[in-house]
Amino acid sequence: MTTRHSRHHEPHAITKIGWLRAAVLGANDGILSTASLIVGVANASSDPRSVLIAGAAGLVAGSLSMAAGEYVSVSSQADLEKADLNRERRELHEDPDGELRELTHIYQKRGLDHDLAVEVATQLTAHDALAAHARDELGLSHATRARPIQAAIASAASFASGAVVPLAVTILVPARSISIAVVGVSILLLAVLGALGARTGRAPVLRAVIRVVLLGAAAMLLTIGLGRLFGASIG
């Protein structure tokens, strides 16, 4: 039996968007870029040490690059959000009546009649005017706000966790089998990751799997071709 004071908690995929985007992007990139680098070098050189060094360098450089890129990107988003909030805060101070009318108009456009829109806007403004404008005028919320440090850490960690798999395969299999083993394991993991990401985000699973597998296979086949081409030229 519920009471009017009980709280209803309903999970939504949008609450995962901050970390999900960075995690999926980082892991996919870690698997694909490191595997492509390994198979490219493996087809250009017969020295297993060169292949292993290239894979390890790709893991470290890729993790740092993903972290730096994600931090800069999300920091820019955070700066824009902060600037918009500061502008709203200033407008609320300089023209509160105009901001109330603006909020009322927003609720009218969403289907409320004028009197109810005025009442809702008035009560939300009294409760927290800036939060009301951030949510309903700017589309900003706690769930979707930019978090640069979180995004950077998630990107670096997910890239490394993806990149370590083709690197481990390189260590464990014989040199002559590196390309086949790395491509096979990487495609399998890309498919699994695509399915998990789609299920977490409640998106079509088959479409996500097909997309990531086709793109991953194309990238690795291209680097194999380039490795053989440059290997033959150098040899």
How do residues 194-203 score in pLDDT, each as one tens digit? 888 777 767 7
Residue of 71, 19, 38 whose CA lies nearest to 164 = 38
Q: Does 63 reside within a domain? A: yes
Look up the domain containing 45 and give its range.
15-227
Instruction: Confirm whether 112 is domain-assigned.
Output: yes
Of residues 64 and 198, more confidence is placed in 64
Higher per-residue confidence, 173 vs 23? 173
CA torsion sign, 117 to 142 to 134 to 94? positive
Per 3-state DSSP, what percentage of the chain is helix, strand, and coil (rounded to 5)?
A: 85, 0, 15
Q: Can you tell me the mean pLDDT for 148-156?
A: 84
| Within a domain: 175 | yes
**What integer pLDDT is reported at residue 4 of this predicted model?**
47
Produce one character per residue of 34-71: b if its CB has 16 or more CB atoms within 10 Å, e if not. bbbbbbbbbbbbeeeeebbebbbebbeebbeebbeebb
Flag whether 2 is in a domain: no
For residue 185, tell me if it sits in a domain.
yes
This prediction's pTM: 0.67
% of the chain residues with pLDDT over 70: 85
Question: Which residue type does 144 have?
Answer: T
Asked which of 23-27, 52-56, 114-118, 215-219 is least confident by mean pLDDT, the reply is 23-27
Structurally, the chain folds into a number of domains equal to 1
- Per-residue model confidence (pLDDT) at position 20: 62
**Res 46: pLDDT:** 76
| Residue with more model confidence, 95 or 172 | 172
Q: Is residue 6 part of a domain?
A: no
Q: Averaged over 9-24, what is the pLDDT?
A: 55
pLDDT exceeds 80 at position 231: no
In a domain, 26, yes or no: yes
Examine the pLDDT at 5 and tell me if it is beyond 60. Answer: no
Give 21's pLDDT tier (boundaries 50, 70, 90): low
Tokens of 174: 């014989």
Question: Which residues contact residue 88 at a Cβ distance below 8 angstroms, ignoring those fewer than 6 apart?
Answer: 99, 130, 133, 134, 137, 138
Local confidence band at 6 (pLDDT 50, 70, 90 cut-offs): very low
234 falls within a domain: no
